[in-house]
Structure 1
Amino acid sequence: MNREQKNTKYDVLIAGGGAAGIGLAASLKSRDKSLSIAIIEPSDAHYYQPSWTLVGGGAFDVRDSKRKTKNLIPSGVTWIQDKITGFKPDSNEVMVANGSPIQYQYLAVATGLKSNWDAIPGLTETIGKNGVTSNYSYDYSPYTWELVQQMKSGKAIFTQPPMPIKCPGAPQKAMYLSCYEWEQQGKLKNIEVELNNAGAALFGVADFVPPLMEYVQKYNATLNFNCNLISVDGPNQKATFAVKDADGNTTQVEKSFDMLHVVPPQGPQDCVKGSPLADTAGWVEVDQFTLQHTRYPNVFGLGDCCSSPNSKTAAAARKQIVVVAENLLAHKHHQAMPLKYDGYGSCPLTVERGKIVLAEFGFGGKLLPTFPWLINPLKATKLAWILKKDVLPWLYWNAMLKGREWLARPFEN
Structure 2
Amino acid sequence: MFPLANFSIEAAANFRSLNVSSRFVRECRQRFSTSRSLNADSYDVVVVGGGAGGASLSSVFAKKSKSVAVIEPNAEHYYQPLWTLVGAGIVNYNKSVRPMAAVLPKRATWVKDKVVEFNPKNNTVTTEGGKQIKYEYLIVAVGIQMNYNQIKGFPEAFETPGVGSNYSKLYVGKTTEALRRFKGGNAIFTLPSTPINCRGAPQKIMYLADAYWTNTGVRSKSQLHFYTSQETMFDVKKYADVLTEICTQRNLNVHFKRNMIEVKPDTQEAVFEILDSPETPKETVTTHYDFLHVVPPMSAPDCVRHNKDLVDAAGWLDVDKDTLQHKKFANIFGIGDCTNLPTSKTGSAVACQIGILQKNLMQVMAGVKPTSVYNGYTSCPILTGHNKCVFAEFDYDKQPAETFPFNQAKERRTMYIMKKNVIPKIHFHLMLNGYWQGPAIFRKIFRLGMA
Query: Partners of 1:409 and 1:335 in 2: how far apart?
Result: 25
By how many angstroms is 1:235 displaced?
2.6
User: Greater CA deviation, 272-281 or 238-247?
Assistant: 238-247
What are the Cα deviations for residues 319-339 of structure 1, in whole angstroms up to 9, with x where unaligned?
111111111011101234242
- One-letter code of the match for 2:236? V
By how many angstroms is 1:34 displaced?
2.5
By how many angstroms is 1:7 displaced?
6.0
Query: Partners of 2:201 and 2:279 in 1: how far apart?
Result: 27
Match of 1:355 in 2: 388
Match of 1:305 in 2: 338
Which among 277, 282, 303 is matched to residue 271 of structure 1?
A: 303
Query: Does 2:116 align with 1:82?
Result: no
Match of 1:116 in 2: 147
Match of 1:137 in 2: 168
User: Greater CA deviation, 327-336 or 135-144?
Assistant: 135-144
8 A Cα contact 1:128 1:140, kept in partner = no
Which among 277, 282, 286 is matched to residue 315 of structure 2?
A: 282
By how many angstroms is 1:126 displaced?
1.6
- One-letter code of the match for 1:266? M
Match of 1:9 in 2: 42
By how many angstroms is 1:161 displaced?
0.2
8 A Cα contact 1:176 1:215, kept in partner = no
Match of 1:252 in 2: 284
Query: Partners of 1:174 and 1:317 in 2: how far apart?
Result: 23
Match of 1:243 in 2: 274
Which among 84, 88, 100 is matched to residue 57 of structure 1?
A: 88
- One-letter code of the match for 1:9? S
Aligned residues: 407
- One-letter code of the match for 1:256? H
Match of 2:192 in 1: 161
What are the Cα deviations for residues 336-360 of structure 1, in whole angstroms up to 9, with x where unaligned?
4242111011110000010100011
Query: Does 2:329 align with 1:296?
Result: yes
- One-letter code of the match for 1:55? V
What are the Cα deviations for residues 170-208 of structure 1, in whole angstroms up to 9, with x where unaligned?
100011100111122232221011001122221111110
8 A Cα contact 1:7 1:101, kept in partner = no
By how many angstroms is 1:369 displaced?
1.1
TM-score, L = length of structure 2:
0.86
Match of 2:75 in 1: 44
| SS of 2:212 mapped into structure 1 | helix
8 A Cα contact 1:128 1:143, kept in partner = no
Q: Supply the RMSD in Å over aligned alpha carbons.
A: 2.0
TM-score, L = length of structure 1:
0.94
Which among 223, 230, 235 is matched to residue 254 of structure 2?
A: 223
What are the Cα deviations for residues 116-146 of structure 1, in whole angstroms up to 9, with x where unaligned?
0111111211215321111112232232222
Query: Does 2:123 align with 1:92?
Result: yes
Which among 265, 268, 278 is matched to residue 234 of structure 1?
A: 265
Query: Partners of 1:331 and 1:408 in 2: how far apart?
Result: 26
Q: 1:408 to 1:339 in 2, by over 3 A?
A: farther
What are the Cα deviations for residues 201-251 of structure 1, in whole angstroms up to 9, with x where unaligned?
211111101211222122211111111111111132111111134646621
State the identity %: 37
Query: Partners of 1:35 and 1:333 in 2: how far apart?
Result: 18
8 A Cα contact 2:162 2:182, kept in partner = no
Query: Partners of 2:88 and 2:377 in 1: how far apart?
Result: 26
8 A Cα contact 1:230 1:240, kept in partner = yes
| SS of 1:98 mapped into structure 2 | coil
Match of 1:337 in 2: 370
8 A Cα contact 1:130 1:237, kept in partner = no
By how many angstroms is 1:406 displaced?
5.8
Match of 1:72 in 2: 103
